[in-house]
């Protein structure tokens, strides 16, 4: 069926003229309620902004030391923002997911918030990470990967629901 005969397209004008806003107007709230609404909707993020993607980055030097850096970061809008950097004496504490290592990992000192570190140290750490590929390209890749993974999970979910309903 083409657009010309599709009843769903009856309302679509390829070049619509200026028309009144069809969104319903909300009544003006009584005094005092307006402030409550502005507090509830006080998000500084645009509506279409993607939520941050939490990252756990582990950098090891197995030939030189058993230790590792564990970086807590987030990817958003094509950038990676470091939240904290910690050092562990045994990389297995941050790479293994056994109940014992997870329990030990909880007790590790995670270091100060990254933003509270001296600016020069922050710059040096960011350069260190960029040299190892933790950069804008990685942030974009992670966001794209998450989108593809979510789409695949959704398709799998749809197939499972369909299979169950048809059985």
Reading phi first (left if > 0) and then psi (alpha if -120 to 50, else beta), residue 117 is in beta
Domains and CATH numbers, the chain: 53-146 (3.10.280.10)
Residue 43 is predicted with a pLDDT of 53
Pull the structure tokens for residue 157: 């979910």
Spatial neighbors of 74 by CB under 8 A, at least 6 apart, are 52, 53, 54, 55, 80, 81, 83
How far, in whole angstroms, is CA 63 from its chain's centroid? Answer: 33
pLDDT at 44 over 50: yes
Residue 17 is predicted with a pLDDT of 43
pLDDT at 164 over 80: yes
Residue 144 is predicted with a pLDDT of 95
Pull the structure tokens for residue 85: 């950097």
Residue 103 is predicted with a pLDDT of 87
Q: pLDDT (tens digit, 9 = 90+) per residue, 57-75?
A: 999 998 898 899 999 999 9
Q: pLDDT (tens digit, 9 = 90+) per residue, 109-138?
A: 888 999 999 999 999 999 999 999 999 999
Which pairing describes strands 79-88 and 53-60: parallel, antiparallel, or unpaired? unpaired
Q: pLDDT (tens digit, 9 = 90+) per residue, 76-115?
A: 999 999 999 999 999 888 888 899 988 888 888 888 999 9
Residue 36 Cα distances to 24, 26, 42, 95, angstroms: 21, 15, 10, 45
142 burial type by CB count under 10 A (0-12 exposed, 13-18 middle, 19+ buried):
middle
């Amino acid at each position: 069926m083409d657009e010309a005969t599709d009843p769903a397209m009856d309302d679509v004008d390829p070049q619509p003229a200026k028309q009144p806003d069809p969104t319903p107007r909300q009544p003006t709230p009584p005094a005092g309620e307006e402030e409550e609404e502005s507090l509830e909707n006080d998000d500084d993020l645009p509506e279409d902004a993607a939520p941050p993607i939490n990252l756990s980055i582990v950098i090891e030097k197995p030939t030189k030391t058993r230790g590792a850096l564990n970086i807590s970061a987030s990817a958003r809008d094509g950038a990676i923002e470091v939240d904290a950097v910690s050092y562990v004496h045994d990389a297995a504490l941050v790479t293994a997911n056994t109940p014992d290592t997870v329990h030990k990992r909880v007790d590790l000192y995670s270091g100060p918030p990254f933003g509270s570190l001296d600016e020069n140290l922050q710059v040096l750490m960011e350069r260190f990470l960029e040299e190892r590929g933790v950069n804008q390209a990685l942030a974009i890749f992670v966001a794209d990967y998450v989108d593809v993974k979510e789409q695949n999970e959704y398709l799998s979910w749809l197939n499972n629901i369909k299979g169950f309903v048809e059985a």
